[in-house]
Amino acid sequence: MSEQYSLFVFLGNPGRQYENTRHNAAWLLLDLLDGHLSLDWSLKFKGRYAKKQIPGTPPEFLYRPHTFMNKSGEGSGEIARFFSVPAERILVFHDELDLTPGEWKISRGGGTKGHNGLRSMKQHLGSNDFSRCAIGIGRPPHSGFAVNKWVLSAFDPGDRADLGRAFDGILSEVWGL
């Protein structure tokens, strides 16, 4: 499936306090992927990017914005323009409240569902025609638990195991690993 995409963007928040939080599910996936691919990273475009090239195929770029989630589209737009990647060839990985841990899905276009990272992507790409890989983090356990606190909280051990299953599925489906 990766051959239909040229740019993979992994949304998250920088800083040690956010490393293992639900909002950083995509960065956790990227860390796992990097372990499989041993990529060489460069600092540019307000983040880190790596080029993956298999002889005889177009290059693929993996990008981790180093801005906070609500500004992640800034560098993403820069790298997309620099490498002439249209929105249709971008796959954005992000956390998703409406999927339980262990679930994931890929879709193209659609709304941002209140996700500030996706809103920023849409704004800075000038299009909503990019694909999204939603990684389930589930909803807070009760209505009194604020969503902003939930996404910035750490996974419990059971959810972390479920997340690992989702990551295995994504790595297999997208990269054949």
Question: Burial code of 54-68, b = ≥16 C-beta within 10 A, e = fewer?
Answer: eeeeeebbbbbbbbb
By CB neighbour count within 10 A (0-12 exposed, 13-18 middle, 19+ buried), where does 94 fall? buried
**What is the C-alpha separation between 94 and 92, in angstroms, rounded?**
6
Please compute the mean of the pLDDT values over residues 19-30 and round it to a whole number: 95
For 111-140, the pLDDT digits (tens) are: 877 788 999 999 999 999 999 999 999 998
Tell me the catalytic residues.
Answer: 23
Q: Which of 174, 104, 166, 177 is nearest to 134 (CA)?
A: 104
34 vs 134: CA distance, rounded Å: 19
Q: Read off the pTM.
A: 0.94
Give me the mean pLDDT over the 21-34 stretch: 95
